[in-house]
Amino acid sequence: MANAMDGAVVTMEQVGGRTLRTAAWRLDMPSDHLPILFFNGIGANIEAVAPLAAALPERGFLMFDMPGTGESPDPLIPYNPFTMSWTAAQLLARYGLDEVDVMGVSWGGAMAQHFALQHPSRTRRLTLIATTPGMIMVPGNPAAFTKMADPRRYIDPEFMNEHFATLYGGVDKDGAEHQKDSHIGRLKPPSPRGYMYQLMCMMGWSSLPALPFMKKETLIMMGEDDQIVPVINGKILKAMIPNSRLITFAGGGHLFLLTHADESVAAIREFLDAPDTAKEAKRAAA
């Protein structure tokens, strides 16, 4: 876990009336690229996706533990996508960041959509990974959701090993044992309240009505063997977001961002490095 966090500046930030454990990579270094604001999956702590920050050394990277997740204290009151997007915008201001490339995985992909819609002036491009348009989604394997609700997936390696394929699907190019061990080794279980409030946050929420108005260049990435978020959800996002493209990963499960890391990073880098569109160039000039 320590290696995954090499180079991260970890602080406890007081923003929006909340205390958030925050990790920042390379924000104080000059770069020709905008930094990335990353929204994590449900119950996942910063360390779970820290390898992605390390794999993009040319960019700044900012991520935080949701309230009650990782080492962020429990939330006192429930929150919703609007209030957490506002809090994330306050966090950007704390770091002096006017504009970022926004990225999110799974539950965090829904947050990323909402942030881009709520704060378009702070968002350049949007990357959505293994995610859905919210409550109006095509559900995955019921067995996967049953195992996902079991807190043992965070703390019991034997449970994770036994049910990994049911939970996440996909094939690890480096071998199943590597996939399980590397993932479980970076997880820290959320608090019961933190996990419940994350579930409650998205209850009744859907981005579908607003997606046709999403003006950002958007990359949608899906695993073809995802047991939690079937690839059809990515196709729905592609159909609803005007300036979007969809990439699917053969043999990729819900964790293809880690198991197909080289392919995933290459796709992200190609998308973010692509020349500005006419609209982006006009906006940058303004």
Considering only CA atoms, which of 279, 285, 268, 284 is closest in space to residue 104? 268
- Could you tell me which residue, 53 or 285, shows the higher pLDDT? 53
Give tens-digit pLDDT for 150-208.
555 555 556 555 555 555 555 555 554 555 455 556 778 888 899 899 989 999 999 99
Orientation angle between helical segments 176-186 and 157-168, nearest 10 degrees: 110
Alpha-carbon distances of 282 from 65, 276, 277, 278, rounded to whole Å? 35, 9, 9, 6
pLDDT at 284 over 70: yes
- Catalytic residue, from 106, 207, 244, 264: name it: 106
| DSSP symbol at 66 | P
**Which two three-digit tokens encode residue 241?**
């977001």
106 in catalytic set = yes
Residue 111's pLDDT band, with cuts at 50, 70 and 90, is very high
Q: What is the pLDDT of residues 46-101, one digit of tens each?
A: 998 899 999 999 999 999 999 999 999 999 999 999 999 999 999 999 999 999 99
pTM of the model: 0.89
Contact 85, 114 (CB under 8 A): yes
Task: Read off the amino acid at residue 74.
Answer: D
Pull the structure tokens for residue 138: 């095509």
